[in-house]
Amino acid sequence: MINVHDLAQLLDRHGYYVDDDDGEVAISLNDTENVDNLLIILTAVGALHVKYKPEESQLGFFLPNWKCYDSMEAYCEQFPNDPACKTYDT
């Protein structure tokens, strides 16, 4: 499975908004209410988590174990057992 750092980068390149502070993923910065099939599929396979956002009375999609890392090396230092880190050349 893809690691959270690479997934965030790919989602960003595909036009999704990834909040650096909490790892929330949305269709865009201005559209955090709508949902598309990709977000649902990524959640169904465990690549994203769903959390209730009480301040907005809705569910949100979040990257698991999120922290905005400066590099893949920094991510792998925190999560060395992540399968992607075992194959990533650091």
Over residues 40-82, the pLDDT tens digits come to 999 999 999 999 988 888 889 999 888 766 777 877 888 788 7
pLDDT value, residue 90:
46
Q: In this structure, what token pair is assigned to residue 60?
A: 């949100």
Percent of the chain scoring above 70 in pLDDT: 90
Domain ranges of the chain: 4-87
Q: Is 67 helix (H, G, I), strand (E, B) or coil?
A: coil
